[in-house]
Amino acid sequence: MTENTRRPTVFMMDLWATVPYYTAYLSKALLKKHVNLMVGSISYYLDPGCFSNRGIMLDPGLMDVVGKFRLPRLPRRVLKLLESLLNLAALAVRFLISSPDVVHVQFLPMLTSRLPLDLWFVQFCRRRGSKIVLTVHDLLPHNTGESHKQIFHDLYQMVDRIICHSESIREGLAVEFSVKGEKVAVIPHGPFFYDLPATAEQTLQSFELDPRKMLVLWQGIISPYKGIDLLLEAWRNVEATVENVDLLIVGTGPTELLDQIREQIRSLKLRRVRLHPRFISTEELVALYRAADIVVYPYGAITTSGALATGLALGKTIVASDLPVFRELLTDRENVFFFDPQRPVELADALVQLLEDALLRERLAENVRKMNFGEESWLSIADKTIECYKFVQPLRLWYKN
């Protein structure tokens, strides 16, 4: 078989299952396009069926054990590190013999540590002839300032092709990291959980929802930049104006941040806020989104949002911060209500207007549903991703329709 007729190989790299759903949905779409794909990840410990339920076989290198068990945080991290060392060693031996044509990096969890073994592995693959494609989910790690900027600058310069999810992030790569525009491909973020069936009402029993009341939902990993403090400040005005509505905040986060949220709820004397600080299953997540009248994204800054992608995929009425990443995807008063993330009163006004106008809520939701943000989105994303592979490795037979 000649170099131009063999099927090129791609190694999808998310060794710690850091962005498991993105990796799973993209891999599923690439496999449908008949890409010769190895998915280098382990089972996601919070949802062990994340990959297998979508027909994906994992190829972490040597072993996939730790992610299949619910372990306390410290032993899980220690065992995951040991497992990762064995997997990296096994992959290095394999790729020494035959390296993939493309290594598509989703996340490097050890990048900012003193021993960035995953980065060294990527550099080894590059020396063996692999081209490196990197998806930038965040320009820099959240809540770290610019302490790791030089590390990420060097990474962005080293790789052969970068995928990001918006033009504003492409601009950030150019301005902040001196990445040339022709090196970057803008490919939208795809939706999650559109493929899950509707769940029974019993799924929501633990949330003690009142079916007679409207529901506003905030869901995600709790972090300072995601604007829960702003939302609670705005909610004081909502409670004073609208009677039959509850706010549900669902997600995991640092203990100190959860304590701050509880204290803010107490100090503002909010009566209709429910905080559920725990991981929820995908079944619970879909059920909550379907039950919500409005989903809200009051972020102060964002590179991309899987939570927003879920709201779009499930056809919800959306209220979101007026940020460049969101503006590229949505249009104010057509399929979203935007507000200034520096002004809680604007968020309160948007929520009140939507809560008092069922027809307006339905019109926005219907326009979201018309976006058809489902499996076809991922197939389009797969086509654009394959173009990135062809850009760095212009071989034939990348895929067949």
Q: Where are the beta strands (DSSP E) in 50-169?
A: 102-105, 131-135, 161-164
Per the CB < 8 A criterion, the answer to whether 32 and 39 are in contact is: no
Distances, alpha carbon 44 to alpha carbons 47, 95, 113, 129, 340, in Å: 5, 24, 22, 30, 36
Task: Encode burial over 159-189: b for 16+ CB neighbours within 10 A, e otherwise.
Answer: bbbbbbbbebbbebbeeebebeeebbbebbb
pLDDT digit string, tens, across residues 255-304: 999 999 999 999 999 999 999 998 888 888 989 999 999 999 999 877 67
Helix/strand/coil for 19: coil
Our CA angle for 342, 346, 347, nearest 5°, is 90
Per the CB < 8 A criterion, the answer to whether 40 and 12 are in contact is: yes
Q: How much of the chain, in percent, has pLDDT values that exceed 90? A: 68
Confidence (pLDDT) at 382: 96
Helix/strand/coil for 318: strand
Residue type, 366: E
Residue 401 has pLDDT above 80, yes or no: no
The residue count for the chain: 401
Per the CB < 8 A criterion, the answer to whether 107 and 40 are in contact is: no
- From 101, 20, 22, 21, select the one nearest 381 (Cα to Cα): 22
Confidence (pLDDT) at 38: 98
Per the CB < 8 A criterion, the answer to whether 56 and 28 are in contact is: yes
Report the half-sphere exposure of 211 (CA within 13 A, side-chain side). Answer: 4
> Does the predicted model carry a pTM greater than 0.75?
yes
Confidence (pLDDT) at 397: 67
Strand partners, 276: 250
Name residue, tokens 């968020």: 347
Domains of the chain in sequence order: 9-190+376-392 (3.40.50.2000), 201-373 (3.40.50.2000)
pLDDT classification of 199: cutoffs 50, 70, 90: low
Q: Give me the sheet containing 36-41, strands edge to edge.
A: 36-41, 9-14, 102-105, 131-135, 161-164, 184-186
Averaged pLDDT for residues 236-249: 95
Residue 328 has pLDDT above 60, yes or no: yes
Q: Give CA–CA dist 189/13, Å, rounded.
A: 17
pLDDT classification of 204: cutoffs 50, 70, 90: confident
Q: Where are the beta strands (DSSP E) in 118-199?
A: 131-135, 161-164, 184-186
Per the CB < 8 A criterion, the answer to whether 164 and 324 are in contact is: no
Per the CB < 8 A criterion, the answer to whether 124 and 100 are in contact is: no
Higher-confidence position of 124 and 393: 124
Averaged pLDDT for residues 1-8: 66
Report the half-sphere exposure of 389 (CA within 13 A, side-chain side). Answer: 27
Confidence (pLDDT) at 281: 87
Q: Give CA–CA dist 168/324, Å, rounded.
A: 6
Strand partners, 40: 13
Which conformational region is residue 41 in: left (phi greater than 0), alpha (psi within -120 to 50 degrees), or beta? beta
Per the CB < 8 A criterion, the answer to whether 223 and 312 are in contact is: no
Higher-confidence position of 14 and 168: 14
Q: Give CA–CA dist 64/258, Å, rounded.
A: 32
Confidence (pLDDT) at 372: 78
pLDDT classification of 2: cutoffs 50, 70, 90: low
Distances, alpha carbon 80 to alpha carbons 18, 117, 288, in Å: 12, 13, 31
Q: Give CA–CA dist 101/384, Å, rounded.
A: 17
